[in-house]
Structure formats: structure tokens, C-alpha cells
Structure 1
């Protein structure tokens, strides 16, 4: 029980410090600008393609229902590409505007780098100047580690919710047929998917921050690990079924992202369990590094 109290005290103190420091505002602004840029670019491309198709159909003398049919076919094609032609996912995401899906996919790709920028100094920032010793005198090292991890996770949960809410409100305004009930339900689904995905990367950032005394070194090493994970997933998908390298993709967290929006609980549960497993491994590694370190 004492360990739980220590963790909660450190979590609340670290979260208050992060909110007062202005970092949360900067990170929110960075995430907002990137998401807004992606949303505007995707929206512009989608609108231009739709206008070009409608113009070609009009020049060809097609009937008035042709643009709607072509738009629906294009939508199904994009959904099939994003969901690997999974019929259940295509049906589940049928009401979600394409802008939301594309922005979600793009931001999910860059979210690990954003997480690294958010928390690369959570441990190394205390170990380098040796201020960590004042914490570990009063609390267990495991409590300090979990408290800092939970503070970063809580900050991320709030930031992602704000951005997702803004994206869905924009989609609701831009697409009148995207009803409030569908918007609310899918907002919760997309937000939970992003949180499950990103918490393992928060744990990875905690591990990288625990391995080094210098925050810049922790950040660079974190980016290297993210690149290695991305390379493993890319190579594993690119090689043939008979290749031994095919199994590399299962060692990368990003491989399991595709089923986080799956309507079937089994598929979602497998992905969620994989991310929970990665987070546990990273946190155990961080604890081992912090426990062995001379503070």
C-alpha cells in the first residue's frame, strides 16, 4: 500500500509540474498544428479528386446518380486499402468520413516520435543532475518510475482527446450526414485506439530515458529504436511468406495497430494484449536499468 501511495503522490506532483511548465501547451500546439496540416491537406486532396471525377462524368454525359456511385466506390476502395480488405472493418467504418480515417492513420504513424519528444527526459532529466537521489531517499525506485510513467501517460491521454475531439467536430461540420451519435461513438473508439497504441511507446520512452544520464542521448536513442521497429515491420511485410524474415514484423509494436479499430472483440483484444505486453517489457527493462544505476 505504501508503494501505491508513493506512486500516486509522484504521479500527481509530476503531472502538476508538467502542466505548469508550459510544455503541455507547446506539445498541444505542436500536435494541433501537425494534425490540422494533415487534415487540411487530406481534405483538399479529397475535394480535388471528387471535383475532377464529377467534372469528367459531367463531360461524359453520365446520369445524375453517377457521381454518388463513383464516390461510394472510391470510398470502398480507400477503406479496403486502410483495413487490408477486412469486411468487418469496412462495415464498421462505413459512417466515418475518409478525412478522419486518413488523418488517424498518418498521425498514428508519427505519434511515437511525438511521445518521444514529450517524455525523453522524464528519468534522465533527474538522473543527470543527480536530483533523482532526493526522490529515491523518500520513495522506492519502482514508485518513482511508475509515477513518472503515469504522469506522462495522463498528459498524453488528455492531449490526444483534445485533438481527436477537434478532428471529429470538424468532420461533423464538413459532413452533415455524419450524425452526432456516430461521431460520439467513433470518437471514443478512435481515442481508445490511439491510447492503447501510444501507451506502449510511453513505456519505451521511459526505458530509453532510464538507460542514459543525458536527455539528448536518450532522445536520439529513442528515435533509433523507433526506426528499428519501423524497419522490422516494413521488412516483415515486404518479404515473401516463405522467408524467415517474415517473423520480424511480430516483434514490432506498430504491426498490431491495424486491428485497434476492429469491431470484433477478439481481434481488438489480441492487439491490445500485444501492446500491454510491450509496455510491460519496456517498463520492466526501465526498472532494471534504474535499479542497477548508481544515483
Structure 2
């Protein structure tokens, strides 16, 4: 049966240039929102990505990559170069990024009204495009559920207080927020991640906050309580795109339960313990596949099911 749920992702594409000592640079299609769109399409979801791609080799590479999975790529008329990031890996495969990004997204209507909208990362903080992103979310949220991932990039966040205000505005517009423990430590130094999640929920913004904790697993927090899950044992190649695969896995599970779109909003904002556990299982399984191979390479349905069998 074809997927009838229209998902819209708004955000940047980035060419990840992975540099290792003694080897030639490897270029992987990346960018947090683009990775989420790609992951959703790989899992069979109908997804449109509203983004910017320059008239260059990196832009062509990324477009081919996204289209190969079935993403409907929509770009504005910007002629800016495709954003890039120099990626260096530590001995454990952890990734550090140095960005070259210009984000000037112009207002571009989606091809059809979406049921769910996802955004975050650089797109939600780098001006002038961030203003366009927030305006789009504000105009769509009456008829679509919204998810947000701050995916903090300290080098691009600018003034800390301003960055926190930007993040909190996006949180307030969202039904679902996903953040890493590292994101929350940067935004709110010294505050435990679960406390931050509870505070966000208490403001009347999101009903569900997902917190990733690397090898320690993940946490789902609602006003009704929290659910934790361990990460499946995985031989890590690199962590590029792990959080984005987690996000696409979570959205895929929520869609399967009918919790995305206006008809699912009440359920999305107050999922029961069984739903929280199922969403986390799908999310950590998707992330486990991705960290087990190079670059942002999320699973297809068969690969996801294989890991779910042991989570």
C-alpha cells in the first residue's frame, strides 16, 4: 500500500568532507535535515525536502543521493555554493565538524500541504534563512504536526543567549523535539537532560521530548513520565548522521502508529509507555545501523527489522 502521509523537511544540505590521515578525502552527502529526509524515504515514507543546493559538483552529488531514495527535492533560486563541512574523526569514530555554510533560504511553498513538518540544525539558527524557516513552520503548524532537532553546532550558533532564544522559539512551535545530551549541555550548562526535557514540556510546547545519549541509549519524556532504552551493541565505524537516523526512525515509528498529522496530534503529545518504548526501539535501531558504516547511511526496512529483532 502506498504511503499517504506527506512529510515535509525544511533545512540544509551539506557536503561532508571526511578527512583521515594518510587517505584521500571522502565526500558524503549530509546535512542534518537532508539526512532525516533521506532516512524517511529509505524507510518508504513520502517526503519532500525544501532546501538549497548550489550549481556545483557537491550540489549535484547530494541531489542524486536524495533522489535515489525517493526524496522530492525542492530548492529555491539561490545561486550560493552548496554548504560543506570538513569532518575529522577521533579514534572511536566520533565526528567533529568545521563548517562553510551560507543559509539564505527564500520563501518557497511546498508542492502540497504536508501532514508533518520537520526542521532543525543550521537551518533554524543561521540567518537570514532561519527567519524563513520559522515563518514556514508558523504557517503550517495549524494543519500539520511539527518536530524539531536543535542539533547544536557551536561554531555556527553565535551568541549563546541568542541561540537559546532561537531554540526555545522552535521548541514552542513543536509537538516533538529530539536533542542529544551534548546539545542540552551546550544550551543549558549544568542542567540534567531529563530536567531540560521536563521544563520544555511544562512550557506547553512539545508533548514528547526524545534525548539521545550516545552509547548509553536514549530517553523519551512526556508529562506522564519517562522511558529509557539502551543502545544495541554495535561496532562503530563513525557517528556521522547517527542522530538524524535516530530522528527518521522515530518519525517512521510514530507514522506507523498514526501519530503524525493533525489527526494524530493528541496522541503524539501524550504517548503511552508502550508507544514511547516502541518509538525508542525503532530510533536506536536506525542509529545502530548508521554508526556501523561510513557516513550518514540510514537503514532500509529490512536492515531496520534485523536490528529490531535484537533490541
Task: Give 1 or 2 for the bigger CA radius of gyration.
Answer: 1
Please report the TM-score for the alignment, with normalisation by the length of structure 2: 0.24
Q: Which one has the bigger strand percentage?
A: 2
Please report the TM-score for the alignment, with normalisation by the length of structure 1: 0.25
Larger RCO of the pair (alpha carbons < 8 Å, separation 6+):
1
